Amino acid sequence: MQVEDIVMDGHPVPVLIQCEDTGSFELDEEALEEVLLNPKIADKYVCVLAVAGAFRKGKSFLLDFLLRYMSSQQSQEWLGDVDQPLQGFKWRQGSKRETTGVLIWSEPFLIKKRSGEEIAVILMDTQGTFDIQSSMKDSTTVFALTTMVSSVLVYNLMNNIQEDDLMNLQLFTSYGMLAQEDCDSAHPFQRLHFLVRDWGFPYEVPYGHQGGQKLLDEILLVTEKQHPAHQEVRRDLRKCFRDINCYLMPHPGFNVIQKADFDGRLADIEEEFVNHLKVLVPRLLSPENLVKKEIGGQPIKARDLLKFFTLFMEVFKDSDLPEPTTLVEFAAQASSQAALEAGKEFYAETMEALVGGDRPFLKTVQMEAEHSKAKERAIQTYLEKNKYGRKNQSVVEKYQLMLEEEVGKMFLKYSQQNEAKNVFKAARTPATLFSVLMFFYLLSGIFGLFGMYSFANMCNLGMGVFLIMLTVWAYVRYSGEYRDAGVYIDELATFLWENVIHPIYQTYMEKHLKEAAEQAAQQAITSSLTNGKIKSS
Ligand SMILES: Nc1nc2c(ncn2[C@@H]2O[C@H](COP(=O)(O)OP(=O)(O)OP(=O)(O)O)[C@@H](O)[C@H]2O)c(=O)[nH]1
Ligand SMILES: [Mg+2]
């Protein structure tokens, strides 16, 4: 059977860019917005899979196979034709670094979990650590950002897992560790996946996932004999990540590293490597292994991830590495932001069920009562979900105020939506115009009866004006044209209603209701008196 080339949509989008003059990293918020606010995914939970590690170790190369798998819609034949060059995130031969900053793929992939829920998968390529051009701060910024925003962190290593690899990881994840201090139970990060390329000792531990797990268990084992610092690294990593996996990959063959015109085609790669790709790639991306990005124990949506990126970069924008206190505050801010979104969502869901969409009109007083209840519970939700924030009261309070403000704005929107459903309010303008028109008509008749024709004519003129207004209003409502004229007429009608018709109507009604009540009371007294007489006689 002829296997076809896999066609890929999209391109890599640089989101973290290093400024050539100052050397500092800048976030390209617009580019990030374009991907994360894409209506297809903005309100979906996200899984961010990032590959990070030392430079020139085949990170982008691997990511392109992940891309190919996603683009083929996880088909059995996802590897495509053996002569198809490998494309996607830019990778290349040679000793000089290729990837700089952080890039994400422009087309997010939507994957359906077994539960039916759809998750947006974002693939992320990163600048390698410790290349000769980068400072320690550069490597820390890129790696820390990657750790913070990803839910599956693939830590790409060569030959083996060494102590310094663990130490570096500990340094880069120290932000998460600091945040962890304020948290009761949850791990700050979700999944860490050690990926050992060119595993050197298959005769001791076999390639693949099981071999990887065996190696990992040995390496992460804490023993009394270890130096205290080494014990701590291991404990920290276990505390930091909810789950840790490992995969041992074979060497891809000498064509891959020595052939000058190697373009990534499968035909040039060792069969054993390709066979392991067939296991590793679907394993990393199978629906049950897609881990949602969480902040403070709360899964977050694509649009929240955008805010998280911005918040993080704010901490790093100074020339020195941030102080630990700043980091604790950052964690509190990030957690408060996620909890704020949860509170907003709770409020929106409650109000939507009450007055949203085609729900009927709700009495204004009742709506206000429901709003107060929903607002209180939204704040409760916010406080409950704000696990990391708890020790930083000022941040918690600041974000609570922001939530209250947002809720206030949403209430205004729901109120307008609800008022628009009030048929009586909608009928107010024609009713007012018609009443005034009838008033002029009656007045003109009376003046005509007494021969006061000039007054009668003036009333007829008024009647004509209001008749035209009524016709124009009806036309505007029907056609949707000249809406400004419609607004003026509505305003005039509201003015007449509030200042003339409603007061008259109220006095008249109140007077009559009072009279009717007095009459009823009188009748009741008389009848009880008569009944009393009958009884006593
Ligand atoms: N030894 C070895 N080389 C590999 C492997 N996979 C890819 N390569 C080669 O490694 C070289 C660099 O690949 P890239 O994907 O550009 O590496 P990178 O880690 O993204 O590099 P930077 O972006 O510079 O950090 C290429 O020549 C690849 O062919 C592997 O598993 N083992
Ligand atoms: Mg690269």
Residue 4, in any domain of the structure: no
- Nearest ligand atom owner, CA of 98: 1
Which tens digit of pLDDT belongs to each residue from 338-378?
889 889 999 999 999 998 887 888 888 899 999 999 999 99
- Nearest ligand atom owner, CA of 97: 1
Q: How far is the CA of 12 from the centre of ligand 2 (A)?
A: 11
Predicted pLDDT at 536: 43
Q: How far is the CA of 69 from the centre of ligand 2 (A)?
A: 18
Residue 331, in any domain of the structure: no
Q: Name residues whose C-beta falls within 8 Å of residue 317's C-beta, 6 or more positions apart in sequence.
A: 24
Residue 187, in any domain of the structure: yes
| Same domain membership, residue 436 and residue 373 | no
Predicted pLDDT at 176: 54
What is the atom index within ligand 1 of the atom nearest the CA of 128?
25
Q: CB–CB of 250/273 below 8 Å?
A: yes
CATH number at residue 224: 3.40.50.300
Please say which residue of 393, 424, 455 terminates a domain: 424
Residue 492, in any domain of the structure: yes
Ligand 1, atom 14, lies closest to the CA of: 58
Residue 535, in any domain of the structure: no
| Same domain membership, residue 311 and residue 440 | no
Q: How far is the CA of 92 from the centre of ligand 2 (A)?
A: 8
16, 51, 55, 57, best to mutate for ligand 1 pocket (most atoms within 8 Å of CB): 57
Which tens digit of pLDDT belongs to each residue from 465-516?
999 999 998 998 888 888 888 889 888 988 888 888 878 877 776 666 667 6
Q: Domain span at residue 293?
A: 12-322
Q: Name residues whose C-beta falls within 8 Å of residue 221's C-beta, 6 or more positions apart in sequence.
A: 234
- Chain-centre distance for alpha carbon 344: 11
Which tens digit of pLDDT belongs to each residue from 177-208?
555 554 444 678 899 999 999 998 999 999 99
- Nearest ligand atom owner, CA of 129: 1
Q: Please count the structural domains in the chain.
A: 3
Q: How far is the CA of 200 from the centre of ligand 1 (A)?
A: 17
Ligand 1, atom 23, lies closest to the CA of: 99
| Same domain membership, residue 442 and residue 417 | no
What is the atom index within ligand 1 of the atom nearest the CA of 64?
15
For residue 45, pLDDT beyond 70:
yes
Predicted pLDDT at 532: 47
Ligand 1, atom 31, lies closest to the CA of: 197
What average pLDDT does this structure show over 417-445?
84
| Same domain membership, residue 406 and residue 441 | no
Which tens digit of pLDDT belongs to each residue from 216-266?
999 999 999 988 888 888 988 888 899 999 999 999 999 888 888 899 999
| Same domain membership, residue 496 and residue 478 | yes
What average pLDDT does this structure show over 110-132?
89
Ligand 1, atom 6, lies closest to the CA of: 58
Please say which residue of 362, 391, 424 terminates a domain: 424
In this structure, is the dihedral angle defined by the CA atoms of residues 176, 180, 183 and 188, taken in order, positive or negative? positive
Q: Ligand 1: which residues within 6 Å by Cβ? A: 55-61, 91-93, 97-99, 128, 197-198, 249, 252, 256-257
| Same domain membership, residue 451 and residue 493 | yes
In which region does residue 365 sit, left (phi positive, over 0), alpha (psi from -120 to 50) or beta (all else)? Answer: alpha
64, 67, 91, best to mutate for ligand 1 pocket (most atoms within 8 Å of CB): 91
| Same domain membership, residue 77 and residue 166 | yes
Q: How far is the CA of 156 from the centre of ligand 2 (A)?
A: 11
Q: How many CA atoms lie within 13 A of 135 on its CB side?
A: 11
| Separation of alpha carbons 109 and 285, rounded Å | 11
Q: How far is the CA of 342 from the centre of ligand 1 (A)?
A: 41
| Same domain membership, residue 517 and residue 399 | no
| Same domain membership, residue 172 and residue 286 | yes
| Same domain membership, residue 191 and residue 93 | yes
Q: How far is the CA of 212 from the centre of ligand 1 (A)?
A: 20
In which region does residue 482 sit, left (phi positive, over 0), alpha (psi from -120 to 50) or beta (all else)? Answer: left
Residue 332, in any domain of the structure: no
Please say which residue of 372, 389, 424 terminates a domain: 424
Q: CB–CB of 168/151 below 8 Å?
A: no
Residue 333, in any domain of the structure: no
Ligand 1, atom 21, lies closest to the CA of: 56
Residue 177, in any domain of the structure: yes
Q: How far is the CA of 62 from the centre of ligand 1 (A)?
A: 8
| Same domain membership, residue 99 and residue 231 | yes
Ligand 1, atom 4, lies closest to the CA of: 58
Q: CB–CB of 418/355 below 8 Å?
A: yes
61, 95, 269, best to mutate for ligand 1 pocket (most atoms within 8 Å of CB): 61
Q: How far is the CA of 60 from the centre of ligand 1 (A)?
A: 7
Q: What angle do the packed helices 428-449 and 483-496 form, to 10 degrees?
A: 60
Which residue type is seen at 372? S
Enter the pTM of the model: 0.72
| Same domain membership, residue 126 and residue 36 | yes
Q: CB–CB of 65/137 below 8 Å?
A: no
Give the three-state DSSP class for 450: coil
CATH number at residue 394: 1.20.58.420
The DSSP annotation for 329-375 comes to: HHHHHHHHHHHHHHHHHHHHHHHHHHHSTTPPP--HHHHHHHHHHHH
